[in-house]
Amino acid sequence: MTEITSLSLFELIKNIKEKKISSNEAAKSFVDRSEKSKKLNTYVTENFENCLKLSKEFDNKPNFDLKLPGIPIAVKDLFCTNEVRTTAGSNILNNFVPSYESTVTQNIWNEGGILLGKLNCDEFAMGSSNETSFFGNVQNPIAKNLVPGGSSGGSSSALAANLTPVTIGTDTGGSIRQPASFTGTVGLKPTYGSCSRYGIVAFASSLDQAGPMSKDVKDSSILLEVISSFDKKDSTSIDFKRNNYSSELTRNIKGIKIGIPKEYRVDGMPGEIENLWKKGIEYAKDCGAEIIDISLPHTSYALPTYYIVAPAEASSNLARYDGVKYGLRSSGESLIHMYEKTRSEGFGEEVKRRIMIGTYVLSSGYYDAYYLKAQKVRQLIKKDFDDAYNKVDAILTPSTPSSAFKIGEKSNDPVSMYLNDIFTVPVNLAGLPGISIPAGRDKNNYPLGLQIIGKPFDEQTVLNIAYSMEEKINYKNNITDWWME
């Protein structure tokens, strides 16, 4: 029999329900493997002992009607977890233990999930390589000294290394899809308003969205079904009819119209990305989809727009980390001095850079030229998609303009780092659902992903297309466990 840790979530649930594997056996397997995988640096806070205890409790009193019966799950350290330290990858929250639970994680525990630990991420989710984390780099299990992507880098790495059956990340500009693409895994960013933001450490409120990360599309559909819910505690949560994503999942996408946006052929895009995209189009056709060329004319403005809107919101969202109420406090001679020292010591370079950008674009005299303009462009980008969706049901693009890069390769070049998000950012600006699925490999054998973007609230179509293409692509990660002694 295959190792427990390499089972898909679906298979694991099936085995547990059929009593072939106990929750405690599953927990032990993931804890053991996680213990042996410290070199990957995926965990910020382990919850192993508690997880083993809770899994035993589950086995003593099992409830197989639950959607995640006794399943151990590690989550990104941006979700506040009751009585378990939550750092957001930052020194300023190094000692922060919430007394409350995020809605998304609560949904998981309500369905029988058990917290395995808190996974590393870029500081306040600001980064594309997990290198901005106060808790250090995360290794991509694909190859040594390769970044796992970011900001949900700990999540993608832990998932690809089989340290957790599935995980959840957050995606503000690509933070689920890009790391999924870099690790040969599946990552879905739902429609803005699908998953509650309550209890998630905020980066950019109008863009942040939690979503599932998994080894295959079916697992994402199972997890999305659990985490997506209307929540009165989040005023931007939307009360729409949610599908039973996993049971409605189908490979029948015959006649579905898929748009190919010409503006995504960006200058300097490696040939292998171009080829991957072409192959993807062929796969989609093989699945019965109709391919239609479309135009999203404002695509080139998406990245600059994003790098105004996101830092602006972040500069305000991060103002609460001032040393007064919780988290790090450095001593100072006056209130202002205390603020300065706390925030200087508490925040890393990338976070400070974005706070400064955000403060600048909101300043009087610059607001109209930057923030207001960016908001207008954001509307145009959204309209591009609205127009396209008059003609097509979904859009197919590459997930990233390149494969995973080496640790340190881009850490001193923020603009080159920001370019990683060029294909994912427009989706956040427009509030749309988007999935990245593994679709091939580059010359180094590093995974490459394709992105499927859907209409608002139409996660089902996105999942169905991905599910269908996944079968044709038939991608399998080749993990060698190189990091183990």
Partner 1 sequence: MDGIMSKNNSEYLIERNDNIYEVVIGLEVHAQVTSNSKLFSSSSTKFGAEPNTQVSLVDAAFPGMLPVINEYCVKQAIKTGIGLKAKINNKSVFDRKNYFYADLPQGYQISQYKYPIVGEGNVILDMPEGQKYVGIERLHLEQDAGKSIHDIDPSNTLVDLNRSGVALMEIVSKPDLRSPDEVNAYIKKLRSIMRYLGTCDGNMQEGSLRADVNVSVRIKGSKELGTRCEIKNVNSIKFMQMAIIYEANRQVDLIEEGEEIDQETRLFDTKKNETRSMRSKEDAHDYRYFPDPDLLPLEITDEFIDQLKSEIPELPDDKKKRFIDEFKISPYEATILVSDIDTAKYFEEVVAKMGKNRDMKLAVNWITGELFAVLNNKNIEIAHSPISAKNLAKLINLIKNGTISGKIAKTIFELMMDGDIDPQIIVEEKGLKQQSDPIALEALIDKIINDNREKAIEYKQGKEKLFGFFVGQAMKASGGKANPQLINEILKKKL
What gap in Å lies between CA 130 and CA 146, rounded to an integer? 11
* Kind of pairing between the strands at 114-119 and 210-214: unpaired
Instruction: Identify any residues that bridge with 166 across adjacent strands, giving them in sequence order.
Output: 214
Interface with partner 1, residue 240, by CB under 8 A: no
Residue of 175, 246, 399, 403 marked active site: 175
Q: Assess contact for 77 and 87: CB atoms under 8 A.
A: yes
Q: Which C-beta is closer to partner 1: that of 110 or that of 316?
A: 316
Backbone phi and psi for residue 310, each to the nearest 5 degrees, phi listed first: -65, -50
Instruction: Identify any residues that bridge with 437 across adjacent strands, giving them in sequence order.
Output: 450
* CB-based contacts of 345, cutoff 8 Å, min separation 6: 91, 328, 330
* CB-based contacts of 443, cutoff 8 Å, min separation 6: 272
Q: Which C-beta is closer to partner 1: that of 11 or that of 77?
A: 77
Interface with partner 1, residue 99, by CB under 8 A: yes
Interface with partner 1, residue 230, by CB under 8 A: no
Q: Which C-beta is closer to partner 1: that of 1 or that of 336?
A: 336
Residue of 34, 55, 76, 237 marked active site: 76
Interface with partner 1, residue 151, by CB under 8 A: no
In whole angstroms, how close is the CB of 464 to partner 1 at the nearest point? 31
| Interface segment toward partner 1; rule CB under 8 A; list 19-27, 37-45, 194-202, 220-228 | 194-202
Instruction: Identify any residues that bridge with 114 across adjacent strands, giving them in sequence order.
Output: 72
In the list 216, 313, 384, 459, the residue contacting partner 1 (rule: CB under 8 A) is: 313
| Interface segment toward partner 1; rule CB under 8 A; list 270-278, 356-364, 389-397, 409-417 | 356-364
Quick check: is 175 catalytic? yes
Interface with partner 1, residue 225, by CB under 8 A: no
Q: Assess contact for 388 and 264: CB atoms under 8 A.
A: no
Interface with partner 1, residue 367, by CB under 8 A: yes
Instruction: Kindly give the residue spans of alpha helices, DSSP state H, lying in 324-406.
Output: 335-346, 349-362, 373-388
Interface with partner 1, residue 316, by CB under 8 A: yes
Interface with partner 1, residue 206, by CB under 8 A: yes
Give me 386's structure tokens: 């609205």
* CB-based contacts of 3, cutoff 8 Å, min separation 6: 29, 162
Quick check: is 331 catalytic? no
What gap in Å lies between CA 469 and CA 467, rounded to an integer? 6
Quick check: is 399 catalytic? no
Tell me how far apart the 2 most distant CA atoms of the chain are, in Å: 69
Interface with partner 1, residue 364, by CB under 8 A: yes
Interface with partner 1, residue 93, by CB under 8 A: yes
Interface with partner 1, residue 325, by CB under 8 A: yes
Phi-psi region of 193 (alpha: psi -120 to 50; beta: other; left: phi over 0): left
In the list 320, 337, 376, 391, the residue contacting partner 1 (rule: CB under 8 A) is: 320
The catalytic site residues sit at 76, 151, 175
Positions touching partner 1 (CB under 8 A) are 80, 86, 88, 93, 96, 98-100, 102, 197-202, 204-206, 232-236, 312-313, 315-316, 318-320, 322, 324-326, 335-336, 339, 359, 362-364, 367, 371
